[in-house]
Structure 1
């Protein structure tokens, strides 16, 4: 049973029992055969459904929230949207995966809604894309983050605090509500998603690191609100730091962004095979 089946079981069981299914189950166990309350409806005609696994790409910031601003005035929100579009186009061209973006234009999307998109489409991978600033202007290179209540280091904690504050400053406070499920089922689902995210993070860093510069200790973790999606493996990718002059130059170059997007698209698609 996969993580989503476990979560669905936990979600549906209380409601099924409260809707009278408990009486039907008891009758069946006692040897009776409960009669249906009404004649089942004939199944409606359906159109073909796209069964490809889904990758949700989340371009960080947007609208009234510019994100980090580089020394030359580059906006993080512009860079992340361009990268996400390029990555999506390359992955979709492969035909194996479907890609959904949390935003396709320069609009503000609350952190809660970004996570909700991944849950609504039942994503198989959620990747939030950023080009942040760092307290140390010498920090540069790509890094990948998974969710952890305790940050792996001071830089990870600082970046997470800054990202989480975006909703408080520019919109609403986040608060992804935990579903009312048995605690053990919810915990199993969350653990499975996190373990998958950790394995995919390792693959992405290893694959992308062969072609792109990496930050020191590129596999990190922190308490990012946008990664609180219990039934979806979720990652946050820092493509570089706009606070670093060299990284800003790369991220504002059309040719460099195209190269970064191609490398990440291949890394994301390859990570889907990692469970």
Structure 2
């Protein structure tokens, strides 16, 4: 009787390519003193992702947020009390995780993501400040988070997708103290900037924005107004309006870190 021949084994090799290099870290501006707090400012959208477009000025959100980020940076640097870095200083696309990833790699003390909202109702107006929560404070917050989080999707492929398990772990790792600090800063930002700009009646809101999920960096998303509203659009696209937004942020940031220094003494 002939012995059975050994079965042939086959292997398949699939090239997966080299790992994508980390996004280069931006330049830190301001005083050359590493002991000073570091604020990372994220201009929302960019590159192939234009965000919303104002029907009045034609300004795209990605361009407006960069102008606002630069204005805020300039005001903070001029104050000399903090150091500042921008996640993007030109028209480039960043995956959402790369944005807060830059803040984490720089060991930032505060992460501020700048956006401008849009709505079908042209009467909707005013700024709002969002901090992290898996449970949105209202349907509008949930809608906005879903829309902004789609910035990671290109041609139907989610570039920053995490499994639900990993997302849960990330949320669990988010220190309660970090979320509390972010919440306190959101309230402070509304208080200090209210003299310079209009806020919504319920300005501090909660949503599951991807860019807010750094577990160890207090993070807020600042919706500076509705570019679908003529008044907000005119304000945000003007140099005087952008300077007012910058002053409000500067005052909030300076008070925020002054409180931290005083509490540490």
Task: Name the residue aligned to 1:66.
Answer: 50
Does the aligned pair in 1 maintain the 2:193–2:247 contact within 8 Å?
A: no
**Cα shift at 1:210:** 2.8
Counterpart secondary structure, 1:239: strand
* 1:188 to 1:116, Cα distance in 2 relative to 1, 3 A: closer
Name structure 2 gaps, 5 residues minimum. Answer: 1-31, 261-265
Task: Name the residue aligned to 1:253.
Answer: 238
Separation of aligned partners in 1, 2:154 and 2:138? 24
Separation of aligned partners in 2, 1:196 and 1:104? 27
Superposition pairs of residues 15-30 of structure 1, within 5 angstroms: none
Counterpart secondary structure, 1:240: strand
Counterpart secondary structure, 1:272: helix
Does the aligned pair in 2 maintain the 1:143–1:215 contact within 8 Å?
A: yes
Superposition pairs of residues 1-275 of structure 1, within 5 angstroms: 50-72=34-56, 73-169=58-154, 172-175=158-161, 187=172, 190-274=175-259
RMSD: 2.4
Does the aligned pair in 1 maintain the 2:194–2:248 contact within 8 Å?
A: no
Separation of aligned partners in 2, 1:116 and 1:177? 18
Does the aligned pair in 2 maintain the 1:112–1:176 contact within 8 Å?
A: no
**Cα shift at 1:51:** 2.1
Separation of aligned partners in 2, 1:151 and 1:161? 11
Does the aligned pair in 1 maintain the 2:49–2:151 contact within 8 Å?
A: yes
Is 120-129 or 64-73 further displaced after alignment?
A: 64-73
Q: What is the TM-score of this pair, normalised by structure 1? A: 0.75
Q: What is the TM-score of this pair, normalised by structure 2? A: 0.78
Separation of aligned partners in 2, 1:146 and 1:267? 16
Task: Name the residue aligned to 1:8.
Answer: none
4+ residue runs of structure 1 moved beyond 4 angstroms? Answer: 175-178, 186-189
**Cα shift at 1:274:** 4.5
Task: Render the CA deviation track for 1:5-61: whole Å, top value 9, x for unaligned.
Answer: xxxxxxxxxxxxxxxxxxxxxxxxxxxxxxxxxxxxxxxxxxx86221110100000
**Cα shift at 1:271:** 2.4
Task: Name the residue aligned to 1:43.
Answer: none
**Cα shift at 1:140:** 0.7
Does the aligned pair in 1 maintain the 2:103–2:111 contact within 8 Å?
A: yes
Name structure 1 gaps, 5 residues minimum. Answer: 1-47
Richer in helix (by share):
1
